[in-house]
Amino acid sequence: MIDRHPCVYVLASGRHGTLYIGVTSNLIGRLQQHRAGTFAGFTSRYRVHRLVHYEVADTMDVAIRREKQLKAWHRDWKAALIERDNPLWEDVSPSLGLPPFPSS
């Protein structure tokens, strides 16, 4: 199941909004933490909770390297990556069995 594999993920506050790129081995658990505001920080402060892109990796090392690569990209490249599979920047967490994050 996807929730226990290394992956890099991109959260957004909305279409072309603030982005957050992270890495985890438990995507569903991490999304629940972001949504609940478990940890005070960037995603809570800027309301960045919608999962707009994720990539599963074979190992955590690969996921971490990809996270660093994406963080170094220009914003336009990140937007193009998201829009390749998610042109409207919709919350894709329902595909993982979570309810969509409510708008506003």
2 pLDDT above the threshold of 60: no
Domain 2-96, CATH class in plain words = alpha beta
CA 92 to CA 55: how far, in whole Å? 12
CA 5 to CA 63: how far, in whole Å? 10
pLDDT of residue 1: 43
**pLDDT, tens digit, 9 for 90 and up, residues 72-91:** 999 999 999 999 999 999 99
Q: What is the DSSP string of 13-67?
A: SSTT--EEEEEES-HHHHHHHHHHT-S-SHHHHTT--EEEEEEE-SSHHHHHHHH
pTM, to two decimals: 0.92
State the chain's mean pLDDT as an integer. Answer: 91
CA 8 to chain centre: 7
| DSSP annotation of 69 | H
pLDDT band at 93 (very low <50, low <70, confident <90, very high): very high
**pLDDT, tens digit, 9 for 90 and up, residues 37-77:** 887 788 888 889 999 999 999 999 999 999 999 999 999 99
Q: For the chain, what are the domain ranges?
A: 2-96
Contact 11, 49 (CB under 8 A): yes
